[in-house]
Amino acid sequence: QPAPQTLLSVGERRGGDSVRSPAGASPSGFPAAAARRCKPRLVMSSFTGVSIIDGEQCCCEASAVVDAGGADSGYHLLVVRGYSRTKQELSAGESITSDVFTIGGHCWYIEYYPNGENPDCGDFISLFVTNYDNSLKEPLETKFCFSFVDEVEKQTPMYIRAAGKTYRFTDGHCSWGTDKFVRRDALERSSDLKGDCFTIRCDVMVIRKDPKAEDAGGHDTKVLLSDIDQHFNTLLQTKVGADVTFEVSGETFAAHRCVLAARSMVFMAQLFGPMKETSPVIQIKDMEAKVFKALLSFIYTDSFPVMEKDSMEEDAMVEVMEDGQEKEAAEDEMLLQWLQDLLVAADRYDVQRLKCICEKQLSENIGVSTVMSALALAEQHHCKGLKEACLKFIQVQSPSCLQTVMATNGWDHVVLTYPSVLKELFLKFASNQRK
């Protein structure tokens, strides 16, 4: 069986994900530095392993593997050392592959594209996971998730099962991934990049069609995987035993007092404290119904909720497309507003883990037109990480970009409402001068 090719040809697209078929041979004209990667060795690792990308040599070397006995759910770590060198040496469409690892009795490897899988995503890092079996007798249904090693909220089986799509790997479509995993400028501002190094975790979950599938120890694999999130989500959706009702923006939501109180000290005080609500329907003001629905979903499942678009937003998207503006920019704007609204709701009800997830995602998606609104949000809701990310973003901007920042409505709002932030910003600029 030949070693995985460094480059794969582009195939069909489905949503924000990509599926590709293997190219027949390595393309000509590939940079010499990028070609100097090691040939992946087949490592019978069922659960975990580590591959290290050496930026100086633009190659991958195996560091350590651990065999966990053929589990259907596992992960592999990809450590990128010398990130800036990989960015310089490889062009868009050129990748470095990890070592081959084994999960669920199937062989896989990861592809890392520092300048995007194609020119359309040249500002992003792309990541793909590829099946490396000789042949697949039938389609292999799999869920997978890429995350930074510290994003623990994305690494639980319940999150992967609830938030991840199911992908079908076949001989014709043996590679799936995301062509826009993270913007490079966002990575370079984040705490995930340390000493020109970062670590990606790739979780793979092989879905067995046979409900009686067993692992090497004879245990039913479906029993081994936690599904408490599904049970609680069913409880929320069916409303069985619900004993409290909320009205938000004209919509009603039934829930369970004990579940809410267990997850939020604010709900604990509101529902069981000395000043507890006695009304049969509790009114929630200053919040959209879709945001409260997402908050409830997280409280019950501990999984980050998917953004929902209402009919007005969909109509606005159509108008944007008709005006010739890019759909992607409009979707990004809606996503940022969604994250901001969700962060406010999480802070209001003291759901700290949800607040941290929103804060981290906002920190990774700061732009010239949105940085001041994000900074005001961070100051108002005591988000130190988001505030620091905004200040660092402003600190490194060119004079022309700073003029654009100062022309936004958010600038005037911050100057008038949070003058102390302006002092901190001046100190940042002063430190630039000293350097």
- Spatial CA neighbour of 414 closest among 389, 388, 378, 384: 378
CATH class of 9-206: mainly beta
Max CA separation in the chain (angstroms): 74
Is the distance from CB of 5 to CB of 109 less than 8 angstroms? no
pLDDT recorded at residue 44: 34
- 278 φ, ψ (degrees, to nearest 5): -115, -5
- Asked if the model's pLDDT at residue 325 lies above 80, the reply is no
**pLDDT for the residue 107:** 85
Structure tokens at 63: 């560091």
Mean of pLDDT values over 67-89: 80
Res. 117 pLDDT band, cuts 50 70 90: very high
In whole angstroms, what separates CA 156 from the centre of its chain? 13
The Cα 353–Cα 355 span in angstroms is 5
**Structure confidence at residue 200 as a pLDDT band (50, 70, 90):** very high
Per-residue pLDDT of 266-317, as tens digits, reads 999 999 998 888 888 999 999 999 999 999 999 999 988 888 766 445 555 5
How far is 206 from 209, CA to CA, in rounded Å? 10
Q: What is the pLDDT of residue 224?
A: 57
Q: Alpha-carbon distance 147 to 77, whole Å?
A: 10
Instruction: Give the Cβ contact number of residue 354 at 10 Å.
Output: 26
At residue 26 the predicted structure's pLDDT band, cuts being 50, 70 and 90, is very low
- Where does 239-281 have alpha helices with state H? 257-263, 265-272
Give the pLDDT score at 65: 47
Cβ-contact 25, 5 below 8 angstroms? yes
> pLDDT value at position 57?
62
Whether the predicted pLDDT of 388 surpasses 60: yes
pLDDT-above-70 percentage for the chain: 72
| The pLDDT of residue 68 is above 60 | no
pLDDT digits (tens, 9 = 90+) for 415-428: 899 988 888 888 87
Using pLDDT thresholds of 50, 70 and 90, give the confidence band for residue 151: confident
pLDDT for the residue numbered 266: 96
Instruction: Indicate the average pLDDT of the chain.
Output: 78
Where along the chain do its domains lie?
9-206, 227-310+328-356, 366-435
Instruction: Indicate whether 240 pLDDT > 50.
Output: yes
Higher-pLDDT residue of 173, 412: 412
pLDDT band at 1 (very low <50, low <70, confident <90, very high): very low
- Which of 49-63, 70-84, 206-220 comes out lowest in average pLDDT? 206-220
Over residues 428-432, the mean pLDDT reads 72
* Highest-confidence segment of 12-16, 19-23, 147-151, 242-246: 242-246
- pLDDT at position 356 is 92
pLDDT value of position 425: 84
CB crowding 79-115: b at 16 or more within 10 Å, else e = bbbbbebbeebbbbbbbbbbbbbbbbebbbbbbbbbb
- What is residue 221's predicted lDDT score, i.e. its pLDDT? 53
CATH number corresponding to 227-310+328-356: 3.30.710.10
Residue 364 clears pLDDT 90, i.e. is over it? no
**pLDDT score of 48:** 54
Predicted confidence band at 10 (pLDDT cuts at 50, 70, 90)?
very low
- This prediction has a pTM of 0.61
Please tell me which of 49-63, 298-312, 364-378 the model is most confident about, judged by mean pLDDT.
364-378
Mean pLDDT of 186-200: 90
Pull the structure tokens for residue 365: 């998606």
- Quick one: tokens of 170? 């076949």
Per-state percent for the chain, helix, strand, coil, to nearest 5: 40, 25, 35
* Domain 366-435: CATH architecture, name and number where available: Alpha Horseshoe (1.25)
Mean pLDDT is lowest, of 38-47, 172-181, 233-242, 382-391, for 38-47
Check pLDDT > 60 for residue 368: yes
**3-class DSSP state for residue 89?**
helix
The pLDDT of 355-371, averaged and rounded, is 90
